[in-house]
Structure 1
Amino acid sequence: MAELDTSGGGKKKGGKVRSKKQSTRVDLTAMVDLAFLLVTFFMLTTTLSKAKAMDLAMPDKDDQKPDVQEPIAASRTLTVLLGSNNKLEWFIGVPGESLTPPTVDGYGKEGFRKVLVEQGQRIKQTTGKEMFVIIKPSDKSVYKNMIDVIDELNITNNKLYAIVDITPVEVELLKRDKIY
């Protein structure tokens, strides 16, 4: 049982004679019980922070028809190869027939986002169509890099992209530039 004792203390010699005051006793048991009930109630009813998930629409394997594919011109295709050490390599076109030299870049506002904005505007002006981005993660890239690329695509409002397997030719390109 919890108590609060506020007794006056010991007697002093001399001075006026006063009547002895009764000590005040407050029983705190009910207040402690109520505090624990409230803490328990709020712990059980509070929602923890919800996981943030990004919507990624992937086609069903049953619905894929390999013979019915819409051709996309290499002049409006940005190929992104995800390498190691938080680096990526990008070029316009397809490997072996790239229209721009392969460029090693980083992630973020001054890296890949700047590339998306500049190349997207250039392709829109020259072809009149939206840019298509092909994302090819390597064995040495980490999952965070893939999420960073998709985040940058969402930030720049680029809706046309595909995630495909990397080819041996592209792996050699990453090895040549020392990011594999």
Structure 2
Amino acid sequence: MASIDTGGGDSHKKGPGVKKAKKLSTRVDMTPMVDLGFLLITFFIFTATMSSPVGMDLNMPKDTNKDEEQTKAKQSGALTVMLGKDNNVYYYEGELAPDGSNFKQTTFKGIRDEIIRKRKEVIAAYTGNAACEEKAREKGKDPRKSCEDEDFIVVIKPTANATYKNTVDILDEMTINNVRRFAMVKIADTEKELVEATEGK
């Protein structure tokens, strides 16, 4: 509430001369505003919905020992990516060499370049896939574009020292680079040994 203080006294001096205007001072009482502020804060606290932890849904393949139920992938089109500690990324193409000569270390920026390069390599080597192209035609899609990278697959293998963020980041790379076939599987003992040896554990 605002109030005006007229200051009291005469509005002008007696006698001849120019009349002086009254000096007015305005004072605003902020007490009601403070009460309103606390009332609004209390209202929003009690009506706000507490945010629940949000998890990421990840569809994992079913464990099976039957050959007919396992997903087949050409070794020539496979890129295996392993996630280590301290944001380290390791990879190899095709099958891991017995001496580990094709086992390499890189960064997340580097692995993106490798994914792009490998995908282009697989597309360039595409010679046709009758079954895949027939399915694409049935769905009204371009047969070649739908099947040219069919043999390209990224196998993701996080180690025990990999962070949740690293796992999410590598899955994001699959979307960014339009990788349609990828799988997250358990790291093999030989691969784990190579990672630990590289990290000096």
Distance 1:163 1:6, change over 3 A: same
Runs of 5+ consecutive residues of structure 2 not aligned to the other structure:
15-19, 127-147
Give the aligned partner of residue 143 of structure 1.
164
User: Once the two structures are superposed, what CA deviation does each residue of 1:7-30 show, in whole Å capped at 9, x if it has no partner?
Assistant: 345869xx7169x99998877665
Q: TM-score, normalised by structure 2?
A: 0.64
2:101 equivalent to 1:80: no
Residues 89 and 104 of structure 1 are in contact (CA less than 8 Å); yes or no, is this contact kept in structure 2? yes
SS at match of 1:101: coil
Distance 1:129 1:155, change over 3 A: closer
Aligned-pair Cα RMSD in Å: 3.9
Q: How much does 1:170 deviate?
A: 0.5
SS at match of 1:111: helix
Query: Residues of 2 paired with 1:25 and 1:176: CA distance?
Result: 76
Q: TM-score, normalised by structure 1?
A: 0.71
Percentage identity across paired residues of the two chains: 36
Give the aligned partner of residue 105 of structure 1.
106
Picking from 13, 23, 34, the partner of 1:16 is 13
Give the aligned partner of residue 169 of structure 1.
190
Give the aligned partner of residue 129 of structure 1.
149
Residues 92 and 102 of structure 2 are in contact (CA less than 8 Å); yes or no, is this contact kept in structure 1? yes
Q: How much does 1:79 deviate?
A: 0.5
In terms of fraction of residues, the more helix-rich structure is 2
Query: Residues of 2 paired with 1:134 and 1:176: CA distance?
Result: 21
Q: How much does 1:156 deviate?
A: 1.0
SS at match of 1:147: helix
Query: Residues of 2 paired with 1:56 and 1:145: CA distance?
Result: 15
Q: How much does 1:172 deviate?
A: 1.9
Task: Give the letter for the 1:146 counterpart.
Answer: T
Residues 84 and 179 of structure 1 are in contact (CA less than 8 Å); yes or no, is this contact kept in structure 2? no
Q: How much does 1:164 deviate?
A: 1.0
Q: How much does 1:40 deviate?
A: 4.0
Query: Residues of 2 paired with 1:136 and 1:26: CA distance?
Result: 67
Q: List aligned pairs for 1:28-107, cutoff 5 A.
A: 30-42=32-44, 54-59=56-61, 64-67=63-66, 68-96=69-97, 101-107=102-108
SS at match of 2:102: coil
